[in-house]
């Protein structure tokens, strides 16, 4: 049986003075050798003053239990301009580029910048659009390669904890709506995901396929994870084997966006009164009260109840561990 390996991705901020050798080697491989860009165009004086990031592959090698910590990607920020985004060919399409770009966005936001800009190679437009950049000019040629200018407004990423808006809450949103079948749970789970701003927590036996394993739910979770640099998704599972055996869509998403989605197996020593629940931020709850059937409720605004549930989840989360079952995904 073939499998897709999970690659843990660590991103570290650095400087040209500290890391010029390894950054130069990576960029020479990607831009000069692969793309044919002249070396005197690839390396410029802006590197010395730019802020740089490196992505590491912390996957264990075959001969040792020690992580390789090989640099597999990089990016830089000169003023408000993102550039020199490069990922080794062997490590593309596993979330390295998005992990790097989120680190750049987070740095810019935390340092009070209002916007970012970049010149994107046209083949990568969809990637940057997925990170909320918008193209704002005609195609042009740079170093012999078609590009388009793109910008990102950082105002959309205002942390709700920093600048909370006072919500206008209706009586209906405070009501506990009773649910008694899989379709109702699925419909409400889908609605709740669209309201998430910061964090999604799911505590479940096996991420019930009738609720969570469908294309619409997968897409909404993907969009949430990609749209906000502060977004977090925590999945705490009682029975991890069933996810792997069924090739659950959310397990695929975990492999696709490992820097945004974390998944753990509930530690066997933990006893809990809770059955299954979906918690949106510290506000909205979807709760199934009986593991053997569908019987529970949804409430869109219950902050006191949600905070208590979040505390219970986080306590279990800290005592649990990432399960090796999640690292291999059957195809």
CATH code at position 113: 3.40.630.30
User: In this predicted structure, what is the pLDDT of residue 92?
Assistant: 82
Boundary-marking domain end, from 132, 157, 182: 157
Same domain, 151 and 221: no
Task: Give the structural domain span for 88.
Answer: 3-157
> Would the pLDDT of 163 be above 80?
no
Residue that the structure tokens 């987070």 belong to:
106
Same domain, 179 and 322: yes
User: In this predicted structure, what is the pLDDT of residue 98?
Assistant: 82
Same domain, 88 and 229: no
* Residues linked to residue 285 through DSSP beta bridges, in sequence order: 279, 299
Compute the average pLDDT of residues 153-169. 61
Same domain, 187 and 248: yes
pLDDT tens, 19-52? Answer: 999 999 999 999 999 989 899 888 999 999 999 9
User: In this predicted structure, what is the pLDDT of residue 69?
Assistant: 65
Same domain, 276 and 306: yes
Classify residue 149: in a domain, yes or no.
yes
| Total structural domains within the chain | 2
Classify residue 165: in a domain, yes or no.
no
Same domain, 203 and 135: no
Boundary-marking domain end, from 130, 157, 184: 157
- Integer Cα distance of 167 and 303 in angstroms: 12
Under 8 Å between Cβ of 209 and 250 = no
Task: Label residue 5 by pLDDT band (50, 70, 90).
Answer: very low
Same domain, 180 and 322: yes
> Would the pLDDT of 164 be above 60?
no
Q: What is the DSSP string of 86-104?
A: EE-GGGTTSSHHHHHHHHH
Same domain, 196 and 150: no
Look up the CATH number of the domain holding residue 260. 3.30.870.10
**Which helix (H) or strand (E) covers residue 52, if one does?**
strand 51-57
**Which helix (H) or strand (E) covers residue 265, if one does?**
strand 261-265
Under 8 Å between Cβ of 46 and 16 = no
Same domain, 141 and 183: no
Dig out the tokens for 287 from the structure. Answer: 């709760």
Same domain, 117 and 185: no
Classify residue 143: in a domain, yes or no.
yes
Other C-beta atoms closer than 10 Å to the C-beta of 198 total 16
Handedness of CA 126, 44, 90, 33 (dihedral sign): positive
Nearest in space to 135 (alpha carbons), one of 220, 85, 127, 257 = 127
Boundary-marking domain end, from 157, 189, 213: 157
Percent of the chain beyond pLDDT 70? 88
- Integer Cα distance of 15 and 76 in angstroms: 9
Q: Which residues of 255-283 are buried (b: 16+ CB within 10 A; e: fewer)?
A: bbbbbbbebbbbeeeeeeeebbbbbbbbb
pLDDT tens, 308-318? Answer: 889 889 999 99
Q: What is the DSSP string of 267-320?
A: PTT---S--EEEEETTTEEEEES-TTS--EEEES--HHHHHHHHHHHHHHHHH-
Same domain, 102 and 132: yes
Dig out the tokens for 86 from the structure. Answer: 């490069």
Phi, psi at residue 261, to the nearest 5°? -120, 125
Same domain, 140 and 205: no
């Amino acid at each position: 049986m073939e499998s897709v390996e999970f690659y843990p991705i660590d991103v570290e901020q650095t400087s040209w003075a500290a890391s010029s050798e390894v950054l130069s080697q990576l960029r020479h491989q990607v831009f000069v050798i692969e793309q044919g860009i002249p070396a005197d165009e690839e390396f410029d004086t802006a590197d010395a003053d730019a802020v740089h990031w490196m992505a590491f592959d912390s996957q264990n090698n075959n001969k040792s239990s020690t992580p390789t910590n090989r640099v597999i990607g990089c990016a830089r920020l000169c003023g408000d301009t993102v550039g020199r985004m490069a990922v080794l060919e062997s490590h593309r399409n596993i979330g390295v580029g998005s992990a790097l770009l989120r680190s750049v966005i987070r740095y810019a936001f935390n340092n009070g910048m209002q916007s970012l800009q970049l010149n994107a190679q046209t083949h990568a437009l969809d990637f940057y659009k997925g990170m909320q950049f918008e193209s704002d000019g005609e195609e042009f040629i740079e170093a012999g390669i078609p590009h388009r200018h793109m910008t990102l407004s950082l105002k959309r990423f205002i942390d709700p904890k920093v600048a909370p808006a006072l919500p206008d809450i209706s009586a209906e949103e405070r009501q506990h709506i009773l649910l008694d079948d899989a379709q109702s749970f699925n419909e409400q789970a889908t609605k709740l995901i669209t309201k998430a701003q910061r964090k999604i927590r799911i505590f479940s036996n096996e991420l019930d396929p009738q609720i969570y394993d469908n294309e619409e739910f997968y897409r909404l979770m993907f969009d949430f994870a990609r749209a906000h640099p502060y977004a977090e998704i925590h999945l705490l599972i009682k029975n991890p084997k069933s996810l792997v055996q069924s090739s659950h869509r959310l397990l695929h998403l975990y492999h696709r966006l490992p820097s945004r989605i974390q998944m753990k197996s509930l530690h066997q020593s933990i006893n809990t009164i809770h059955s299954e629940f979906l918690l949106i931020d510290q506000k909205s709850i979807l709760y199934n009260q009986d593991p053997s059937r569908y019987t529970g409720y949804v409430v869109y605004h219950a902050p006191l109840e949600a905070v208590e549930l979040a505390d219970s989840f986080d306590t279990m989360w800290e005592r649990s561990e990432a399960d090796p079952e999640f690292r291999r995904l059957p195809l």
